[in-house]
Structures are given as structure tokens and as C-alpha cells.
Structure 1
């Protein structure tokens, strides 16, 4: 038996003996008060002896049966006080009945039957209340050492956070602000709700606030931006509680407070999910995630692991990425049957070994080369990985009877202006049309940029800011769609539950964001002023880069689904034999690294693909050396 359990049991027995001692004390006090706190007549002594002898076992047994010792005094609540009063009121008639049978109640003061339960209830309740107040520091006079703190949000999260802050010397919570008028001028743990967020500047000035805490996990980006913009113009620090999604199953306390991130400003929209449907196709199933060590793949692994699959297979070609996610999942989900497989999706023998060995039932295919300029300079490798690696996984999924295959795609596949986008569009076309010829459900999810993914602008900007600038943006008007990684992955899982095969689900990414504005926000979050402390420099569009991304081709047409954040793109059928023939030619071009031919055949499969053709007279092989490995 460990020390903590022993301590809990000891505390329960101490509480029990405390309550038992109040029984004779209440008897004696009731009689003493009856006689005006003076001498107790000798004829009352037998009644006291007999009454106490009866009351202790009766009342003690009732206390125990009513569960007075299940909880701890530190967390005494109104429900605990109600249980005490009920147990006292139940004990009184039982004790009275037994005493009547023994003494006919002769000589017992009538006032005793009123005074005894009142004194006993008070003796049990008041120490608990006082102890709770003491532990909550309600008798504590705050020192000037703690930061003078204002909490935005007087809901359940704000209440729990304030209770924890009151216990910590480094914080001095002084005020709440909340937009709900019902809460105004009320107190939470002795801290007043002064009004709505419009009073922030006034309260910071009047109360000399040093720290503002945004304690609204359900708040969307508009609310977060509102308060962050206010705080940026005030001489205060500010922190935030994580979103509802991040806080799932976690206790709200001061340790969860963190700096506001760009994800808070651009994401945090509350996404409702059909958790039963997601659990229904993942729980007790063997799930394979390709690219499981990457930004999207690793988050897929985290959220899938929480659904209790029969086994999770993480497949990745990066030794370090595979180690990192394997270590994290082992620490977080110790009971999860986890298999980490090092391999390349282009290696058919290695991939087929995984299918033979583990018989996956659900596949999330997140393995891809996705960095636009890098794939533009290495097009043959982009084609081999993004197209033929996908085809390898898809064909094996069909051969080995996988239930469903979810392809993670990108908005760069729409009217692609680069090799990466074109390769992802070919992968979409293959999976869409292969689904009609397979018992496996092939489902595609298409979305824009995810905040903080490897190779994205967010970590790049962060490094540039830390180095003192400048922050490089390719064009003043360039825009991109953004979503946080956890939000996008949750919608991928939702699409996997909804798909019947052959669909392209398009994630509603909201409004596109000016990259220039994103850079400015990140500079401000770091405590600097854009173009004063940190310069923003425009470098020009890179090869294959577009000013804006699109989420669908004009012929696809978006249709709503029963989920507000998921839209359905109309399927584009192609002649299957023609597609296979084109893919054979494309494979030969990729193997020979004939980049000119490779791009021509990409365009044959994806007519909307646009690229700059090499000037006439340049040898194809020469181009291959320039553009690919050679």
C-alpha cells in the first residue's frame, strides 16, 4: 500500500473520530444551554450517560452509511453539507425512539430535541467549511509578490482557473471580465466580475493589472483576436488557456496557461464531430498510417490512438521522425499495441511485407513530398513518391482486402501550377477511379495549409523573428488557406467515417489569409513592431508558386454534406485503360528523369496543370540534370 493511499485512509479515520467526538459534545452542550450555561443538575447525568451511549453507535453508523468520509475536507461542497444535515435528522428520531423504549423520555428537557441536532450539524459543518476556506486561501492576505491578474471569461474554465491561481503565490487574481451581463457585479471565489471586455483598458489602469489571462477555451479566433489586439496596446503581459480540443480530459489550472500562438489567432474554431462514427470504424481495427512521423501523420497517430485501435502501424521513411512519434505514443498510450515500421512507400516488397504481416483494415495515406520548390527542383522523385508510391499502397490495399483507404491531399492539386500539386491531383484521380473497381473504399480529403507543419511559413517566420529579421514574404498579396493540424486531422477522421468510396471531401478552410498579415501577427506576438523592430522583405514568387490557392476545379462543383466543415467535390471520371497507359509512360519518364517528357505527361493526365516550358533547343537530358538529380 503506497504512502498516498495510507494518508487518505488516515485522514478518513481522523474525520470520523472528529465527528464521533461531536456527538457527546452536542449532548452536553444542549443540556448545558438548557440550564443557561450553569450547573447541570445531578438528575440529568444518567440521561447524558445513556443518551451518549446510544447516540455514538447509531449516529456513527449513519454517518458512515451516508458517505461522509468518501470525500476530502479540502474539497467539501454543498452536497457534503446536505449529507451531514440529512444524517443528523435521520439519527435524531432513531435515538429518540431507543431512549423512549428505555426511559420513556422522563426528565429529558424538551429543548434538547431542538438544540442537539443544531449543535451536532454545526459541529460537523463549520470545521469543514473553515478548512476549505483556509485551503482556498480565503483567509490569506495576498502579498504584493504575485502578478496582478485579470481573467477574461467567468465561465467554468475561469472559475476553475481562479481557484487554482488563488493557491499560487506568483499570481494575484483581482478581477473578472465577461460578456454575459448576468455575471456582472457577482463574485467568484471572492473575485468580482466588473463587466464586459470593453472595460479591459479601464480595469488595467485602475487595478494596475500586470497579466491578462484569456480563460475561454471555447472562444473562436474572432474573440481571441479582439482581446489580443486590445492587450497589444496595453502595458500588460497576456496568456491564454488552450482550446477545448487541446484541453480534452485535462484539468484546468495555471500550469496550462501559455503564450498566445498564431494557431490561436487563425484557428480554434469549434468543430463538432460524430465521435461515435469515428470510433465505429477505428476501435478494435488494425490501422496503418503512412508518413506517420510527419506533421499530419503524427497527429493522425495521436488521434487514432485515442480511439483504441486493435493495433496502430506507423510507417515512415525518416528514422528520427519514426522514433519521435513511437516514443511519444508509447509514453502517452502505454497499452496501445504499436508497431513502428521504417520503410519507403516506393519499396513494394517492404510495403507488401507490412500488409502480409499485420493485415491492416484502415489506411491513412499521408506519406508525400509536399514542399513545392523542392519538388519543383526534383520532379522525378516527386512523381515516383507522390504518384507511384500512392498507387503501390492503393493496389496492395485492394489486394489484401482493406476496408477503407483515406488519401490525404492538398488544395495545390486544384489547377496546379507546380509538380507537387500535379502529382497529388494524379493520385486523387487514380484513387477516385480505382474505387469503382475495388471492394476497398477509397476516400480523398483535400485541404489547404496547416499551421506549424514542417516546411510551412510559420516555423520559418519564427526562426527569422528569433534571428532579428528580416521576415521574408514572396509577394505582398499572396494568400493561403490555413487550419491547425489537430482541426484538419479531426476532419480527416470524420471524412473517413462518412465516405462510401470515390469521394473527394474538401475541408472548409474559412477565409484565405494574407501571408503578409500572418507575418505581422507573428512579429507582434513576439513583442515586436512590424517594419520597425522587424522588417518584412518581399522576395518574389518562387517557381511553381501561385498568388492564391483554389479548393476545387470548375468542373467539380462543391456540394454540402451533413457536416458543416466538410464539402463534397463532384467526381471526375476518366477512361481507366487510358489512365493506366499514361501512367506507364509517366513512370518511364520518371525513371529516366526526362523532365520535359515527365511534365508533358503530367499535363496529359491533368490538363489544367500549367508550367513554364523550356525554350526550344534545350536538350531534355540537360534539363533533367538541372531540374532533378541527374
Structure 2
């Protein structure tokens, strides 16, 4: 029966609307004459009904009242019904005056007819939605079979989630109400659901009302707030899920399909990033853009973010075949109109780099290709020099040669007072692009930030794998801390910094507070439904070669300048004379080519005097980004 109605839905709606129009007109007469219509009026009624039916059906059709599904009726639909009723009723009045001079057509009947028709046409639609969304008592028996849920956050996101849950019975969720700390919303009601209390009342409400699940719907909440809510949920052992943060809701959609389990990104909590998209658009839209290391964690996300700004051409330069193929296919699928040029090649290959730049003529370059694993580079210093220094130099020289407008280099906090080969080579690369900037028409800009959550080979995937294998989770030291960013956050700030740079700047990103690696390990174990130290052991293995307890973002001799963006500042770094730097790099590369590793280390020390191997480094004091800026 339901399938027959769906197939003939338009006919059913047409018939029901016709019956409503006729019934409203007759009911108006009945009300006017106290449900006893004089026989003298019936001839006029019978002649008016076909005309009124024709007028109203035509107007309703023109206003789209037969389109759409009643279960999804909304305020815009109601406004269309209001407009259609006003117009059609006005036409009926004009007809009655022009043809019958209102003889045997009481004015009150015409007014009541319009009101009753609107109430019936709109009412039947909203009653259908109310039934569909479980507002009426007819459906209340189904609640016994549904999981009982609370929504934390009665704002726009929470209300949209509540509406979607009510309109989708397959989700098997019965929303009991909202929790919100906003005093304005306290004891209020939204979507027919009460605000039952604040976050402090969560534990009591879960126990008293038998809550099965908590949905956290505050996309702009800080990590501190999310962590507090999660802790309360854990205390009551209730299931909890979260709507992604603002950074993940770039397109503005909010849906129950986006609700997911809480992860470390939520607990570490970053304030939402607001980009000056117009400024970014000015230097990317319609440009030929090259990304080195396009298949890596950072490089591939830079490509995703770049594609949103509609460059003329996106050139993907990558040494690894499979990652290059994967990001190319993803971009082709999501941006079918974008010209994508995948190129396999090595940044260390002088001829290959020059040919690519000559053929593709990029206008903007993002240099993300680098060796990044600290312990591995300690054992392979010559390769670190070749890739991170020589590769950067070849790319920068090629950019300078063809007159690239802007060259954005991705650096790391490990380049600050480095204790390892990787950080030292990245510092030399920073120095080279800064020195080259002084003699080039190309604007060379450096961005410096810390660890990226979830990047290939980083600590989070490693911990997850160890937990999946039953432990133990290995942490180098109980006091080791790191700065962390999410991949989208880091790449968005890279694009923003690139738009601001005029050349020679080193941009620092607000990494928030340093986070203990032990905290990450314990939280990941808890998020996996286990208890740290009980279900999964944590074992301390000692610092690895080249590692230090704390990372820093700024050298002692570097000051900082603010920028218009509250998450970015500029390090006032001094640059060595280009000719002197080039001679020292040439000597270093010669030692690397000869695999003279002691000479490599010695010459790195000459280039970066603050380089001090971890075993010789005194403990550093961690200074947060906010303190750096305020100090200035």
C-alpha cells in the first residue's frame, strides 16, 4: 500500500488538496449559519465550488505546493502556502464581486474560507512531519525500543542533530533533551525538547533518566571543554560521540552522519581557525601551483586545501609512486574540473627539477618534501643533508631562475636549537631560502611548526597499532613533551602564511600548549575502551638518538613580530651572507657525497652553531606561543 501511495504521490496530494478546498468552503458557510445553511444558498455554493477549486489548484500549483515531501515541510514551505492562500482567496473575492456582486456570498464566508483552507493545507503537512519526527503520542510506544540520548549543546548544531534524529526512525534514538551551560538557554526548550541542565548535571541526568548515549554537539568547543565532558561520561560509563569541530565542517553542513567517536584531536582541542580566504584566493586562484612531497601527510593535505581555491594547474611532485597515485585519484574525484599534473621525481635530481620547472612554469611553490624521522636521520646523516638541504637548494634555485612569485618552505620546530641531524638540516634549509630571498625576485617564505597528529609514522598511529596488538605502549620518557597540530590546521595556516609573506619571513604557528606524550598514550588507551596500566601497560624506553625532552619554536636571538592573524607571528631571524653560506653548503654536500660522516657532522655544527647533540644539551624551558608574543 505504501509503495502505491509513493508511486502516485502527486495524484494523492492533488485529491487531498481538492477535498481540503471544498471542505474549507463548505465549513465556512456552516460556521456562518451555525451549521444550518439555508436552502436558498445551496445553488450559489454549487456554482462557486468548481470556480474556487480551479482558482486555488492553479495558484497552489504555481507556488509549488504540490512539490516536496510533507515529512520535510519547513518554514519556507509554510510561507509559500501563506502566499498561495492570500493570492487565491483574493482572486476568489474578485470573482465573487465581479460576477455575483456578493449576492448570497457573505463576506465572512470568504474570509473564513481563506483561514480554514490555510489551516488545513498547512496543518496536514505539519501533522505529517510531527508524526514522522515522533512529536505526537501516536508514536510514543516506539521510544521503549530506542536508545535514550542526551545532546550536549542546544545551539544550531545541536538543534539540527535533534531534528535529523527525529526524522530518521532507523537511527533508533530517543532524544530526552539538551544540556547547555548558556544561562540564556537554561530551562528553555528547542525543537520541543527541554534544556535539562548544565554540564555539571550530566552525571545526575545520566543516572536518573537511564541515558544510553551522549552526543556532544558543540563544534566550536575547546579541548578543555570536550575533555571535561568526556571525563563526566566516563565516570557514568555512558557511550559518547561527538560532532566534528569547525575545521572539519568547512562546507557548513551539520549531520548525524558526521557524529563520530571522540578522538585525541577533540581532547587536545584547538581553537577554530578562521582564514582570510579572500587573501589566500588572491595569490592562488588561477595560478600554476607546484607541491613537492605531494604524496606525504602534509603535502597531500596542502593539495586538498589548494584545490578549494581553484588554481589553474596543480602540479604534484612526488618521489613515491603509490602515494602520488592515491592523492591524484582523490583530487580527480573531488575536483573534476581541476587540471592535475602528477610528476614522479626526486628533489635531489638537478636535471629533473630544472626540466619540471621549465615545462610547468609554476607561479607558486609549496616545498613539503623532506626526511623527517629524527632517529633514522641520526643514522643516515648524509641522506638527510642531500634531501633536506640539497633538495631545498635545487628547488629554490629553480624557482629563482624562472621567476616563481612565491616559494613557501615547510620547516619544523626541531630546527630551533637543534639536537639532531634532521632539525639541523632543516635549519640550514631555512637559512638558504632566507639568504636567496635577498637576491631574488621570488618571495621565499618559511613556515615553522611542530608535530602533526596522525601524520605517517608519527606517534599516534604507532600507539594505535601497539594498543591493537595488546600493548605495551612505548613512551620514551615520562616527562617528554611535544607541540601538536592537526594536519588540516597546519596546512591551512601554511596557506595563510604564504598569502601574507613578502619574502624572507619565518612564520611561527600557535601550537597551543606542549602536551606530554604520556598523556597521549593514556588517553588513546582510554578511547580504545581500556584502562592504562591495567589493561595496557606503558613502558618507558628512554630518549632515542637525537631526541630532546622539550621542543622550542624560537631561537634566543630571534625576536617576533605579530601578524593580522592571531595564530601566526614572524620570527625576526638574521641571515648569513649568501656567498659565505653557499660556500659552506658546497663543502658540506661534498662531504655528504663522499660519505665522510664525521665531516658532515662537523660542518653542520659550523653552519648551525646552536646545534648541540641531545646528550650534551641542558634541559630547556618550554615557552608557549602566547607567552612569546606577549613578551614582545
Is the shorter-chain TM-score for this pair beyond 0.5, marking a shared fold? yes
Aligned to 2:153: 153
State how far apart, in whole Å, the 1-side matches of 2:270 and 2:9 are. 43
SS where residue 233 of structure 1 aligns?
Answer: helix
Aligned to 1:210: 212
Contact 1:267 1:484 in 2 (8 A): no
Out of 118, 123, 128, the position equivalent to 1:126 is 123
Contact 1:428 1:444 in 2 (8 A): yes
Give the CA deviation at 1:12. 5.7
Out of 449, 472, 475, the position equivalent to 1:473 is 475
Aligned to 1:46: 43
Out of 362, 367, 381, the position equivalent to 1:379 is 381
State how far apart, in whole Å, the 2-side matches of 1:422 and 1:115 are. 84
> For structure 1, which segment, 199-208 or 47-56, has the greater mean C-alpha deviation from structure 2 after superposition?
47-56
- The question of 1:105 aligning with 2:126 is answered no
Q: Deviations 1:248-286 (Å, cap 9, x if unpaired)?
A: 226423221211111111133211110111111111111
Contact 1:220 1:269 in 2 (8 A): yes
Contact 2:559 2:573 in 1 (8 A): no
State how far apart, in whole Å, the 2-side matches of 1:542 and 1:429 are. 27
Return closer, same or farther for 1:357/1:533 CA change in 2, 3 Å cut-off: same
> For structure 1, which segment, 469-478 or 289-298, has the greater mean C-alpha deviation from structure 2 after superposition?
469-478
Alignment of 1:412-427 (within 5 A): 412-427=414-429
> For structure 1, which segment, 19-28 or 590-599, has the greater mean C-alpha deviation from structure 2 after superposition?
19-28
Aligned to 1:392: 394
> For structure 1, which segment, 521-530 or 586-595, has the greater mean C-alpha deviation from structure 2 after superposition?
521-530
State how far apart, in whole Å, the 2-side matches of 1:262 and 1:280 are. 34
Aligned to 1:4: none
Structural RMSD (CA): 2.2
- The question of 1:565 aligning with 2:567 is answered yes
Contact 1:165 1:253 in 2 (8 A): no
Aligned to 1:428: 430
Contact 1:210 1:237 in 2 (8 A): yes
- The question of 1:80 aligning with 2:77 is answered yes
Give the CA deviation at 1:474. 1.2
SS where residue 433 of structure 1 aligns?
Answer: helix
Alignment of 1:594-613 (within 5 A): 594-611=596-613
What are the ranges of 5 or more consecutive residues in structure 1 without an aligned counterpart?
1-6, 615-630
State how far apart, in whole Å, the 1-side matches of 2:6 and 2:496 are. 43
Aligned to 2:24: 26
SS where residue 586 of structure 1 aligns?
Answer: helix
Aligned to 2:315: 313
Aligned to 1:168: 169
> For structure 1, which segment, 107-116 or 452-461, has the greater mean C-alpha deviation from structure 2 after superposition?
107-116
Out of 504, 520, 530, the position equivalent to 1:502 is 504
Aligned to 2:272: 270
What are the ranges of 5 or more consecutive residues in structure 2 without an aligned counterpart?
617-632
Out of 326, 329, 353, the position equivalent to 1:327 is 329
SS where residue 342 of structure 2 aligns?
Answer: strand
Matched residue count: 607
Please give the TM-score of this superposition, normalised by the length of structure 1. Answer: 0.92
Aligned to 2:620: none
State how far apart, in whole Å, the 2-side matches of 1:61 and 1:145 are. 45
Out of 116, 120, 142, the position equivalent to 2:113 is 116
- The question of 1:452 aligning with 2:492 is answered no
Contact 1:210 1:235 in 2 (8 A): no
Misfit runs of 4+, over 6 Å: 7-10
Out of 515, 536, 539, the position equivalent to 2:538 is 536
Contact 2:548 2:614 in 1 (8 A): no
Give the CA deviation at 1:114. 3.2
State how far apart, in whole Å, the 1-side matches of 2:165 and 2:23 are. 38
Aligned to 2:287: 285
State how far apart, in whole Å, the 2-side matches of 1:281 and 1:527 are. 46
SS where residue 501 of structure 1 aligns?
Answer: coil
Give the CA deviation at 1:21. 4.0
Alignment of 1:206-285 (within 5 A): 206-249=208-251, 251-285=253-287
Q: Deviations 1:67-113 (Å, cap 9, x if unpaired)?
A: 43464422222343343234323433432232222222222334313
Give the CA deviation at 1:215. 0.9
Contact 1:58 1:91 in 2 (8 A): yes
Aligned to 1:623: none
Q: Deviations 1:308-362 (Å, cap 9, x if unpaired)?
A: 1111111111112112212222222222211211111111222222212221111
State how far apart, in whole Å, the 2-side matches of 1:406 and 1:592 are. 31
State how far apart, in whole Å, the 2-side matches of 1:120 and 1:19 are. 9
Contact 1:31 1:40 in 2 (8 A): no
Give the CA deviation at 1:304. 0.7
- The question of 1:92 aligning with 2:89 is answered yes
Give the CA deviation at 1:440. 0.8
Give the CA deviation at 1:24. 3.0
Return closer, same or farther for 1:144/1:103 CA change in 2, 3 Å cut-off: closer
Contact 1:345 1:351 in 2 (8 A): yes
Give the CA deviation at 1:420. 0.3
SS where residue 239 of structure 1 aligns?
Answer: strand
Contact 1:176 1:194 in 2 (8 A): yes
Return closer, same or farther for 1:121/1:229 CA change in 2, 3 Å cut-off: same
SS where residue 68 of structure 1 aligns?
Answer: coil
Alignment of 1:342-421 (within 5 A): 342-421=344-423
SS where residue 508 of structure 2 aligns?
Answer: strand
Aligned to 2:630: none
Contact 1:449 1:482 in 2 (8 A): yes
Give the CA deviation at 1:569. 0.4
State how far apart, in whole Å, the 2-side matches of 1:67 and 1:284 are. 40
Contact 2:207 2:236 in 1 (8 A): no
Aligned to 2:516: 514
Give the CA deviation at 1:298. 0.9
State how far apart, in whole Å, the 2-side matches of 1:165 and 1:334 are. 33
Give the CA deviation at 1:437. 0.9
SS where residue 241 of structure 2 aligns?
Answer: strand
Q: Deviations 1:400-448 (Å, cap 9, x if unpaired)?
A: 1211010000010011111100100000000011011111110000001
Please give the TM-score of this superposition, normalised by the length of structure 2. Answer: 0.92
